[in-house]
Amino acid sequence: MTYQNYSLKQLQQIDAAHHLHPFTDHKELREAGSRVITHANGPFIYDSEGTELLDGMAGLWCVNIGYGREELAEAAYAQMKELPYYNSFFKCSTPTPVLLSKKLAEIAPDNVNQVFYGSSGSEANDTALRLVRHYWVLEGKPEKNRVISRKMAYHGSTIAGTSLGGMDAMHKQLNGAVPNIVHVMMPYAYELALPGESDHDFGLRAAKSVEDAILEAGADKVAAFIGEPVMGAGGVKIPPASYWPEVQRICRKYDVLLMLDEVITGYGRTGEWFAAQTFGIEPDTITTAKALTSGYQPLSALLVGDRITATLVEKGGEFNHGYTYSGHPVACAVALKNLELIEQEGLVDRVKNDTGPYFAKALQERIAGHELVGEVRSIGLMGAIEIVKDKATKERFLPSGSAAVVVRDHAIANGMMLRATGDTMILSPPLIWTRDTIDMACDRIAKALDLAQADLRKR
Binding residues (CB under 6 A) for ligand PXG: these are 60, 120-122, 125, 154-156, 161, 228, 232-233, 261, 263-264, 289
d(CA 59, CA 67): 9
Closest CB to ligand PXG among 8 and 60?
60
d(CA 210, CA 63): 33
Which of 304, 283, 309, 296 is CA-nearest to residue 336? 296
Closest CB to ligand PXG among 294 and 358?
294
The CB-of-290 to ligand PXG minimum distance in angstroms stands at 6
Closest CB to ligand PXG among 67 and 154?
154
Closest CB to ligand PXG among 69 and 155?
155
Burial class of residue 345 in the structure, from the number of CB atoms within 10 Å of its CB (0-12 exposed, 13-18 middle, 19+ buried): middle
The CB-of-57 to ligand PXG minimum distance in angstroms stands at 8
Closest CB to ligand PXG among 133 and 150?
150
Exposure b/e, 220-235, CB count within 10 A at least 16 = b? eebbbbbbbbbbbbbb
Closest CB to ligand PXG among 133 and 269?
269
The CB-of-50 to ligand PXG minimum distance in angstroms stands at 26
The CB-of-423 to ligand PXG minimum distance in angstroms stands at 15
356-365 long-range CB contacts below 8 Å, 24 or more apart?
A: 356/270, 356/271, 356/380, 356/381, 358/435, 358/438, 359/383, 359/433, 359/438, 362/438, 362/439, 362/442, 363/442
Angle at 323 between CA 318 and CA 328, to 5 degrees: 115
The CB-of-195 to ligand PXG minimum distance in angstroms stands at 31
The CB-of-196 to ligand PXG minimum distance in angstroms stands at 32
Closest CB to ligand PXG among 193 and 378?
378
Q: Omega before 179 cis (within 30°)?
A: no
Closest CB to ligand PXG among 16 and 60?
60
The CB-of-315 to ligand PXG minimum distance in angstroms stands at 29
Which of 118, 130, 104 is CA-nearest to residue 326? 118
Q: Which amino acid is at 453?
A: Q
Q: By beta-carbon distance, which residue lies closest to ligand PXG?
A: 121
The CB-of-232 to ligand PXG minimum distance in angstroms stands at 5
Distance of CA 205 to the CA centre of its chain: 24
d(CA 133, CA 353): 39
The CB-of-274 to ligand PXG minimum distance in angstroms stands at 13
Closest CB to ligand PXG among 193 and 384?
384
The CB-of-62 to ligand PXG minimum distance in angstroms stands at 8
Closest CB to ligand PXG among 193 and 224?
224
The CB-of-436 to ligand PXG minimum distance in angstroms stands at 26
CB 44, CB 52: distance < 8 Å: yes
d(CA 179, CA 138): 20
Closest CB to ligand PXG among 193 and 303?
303
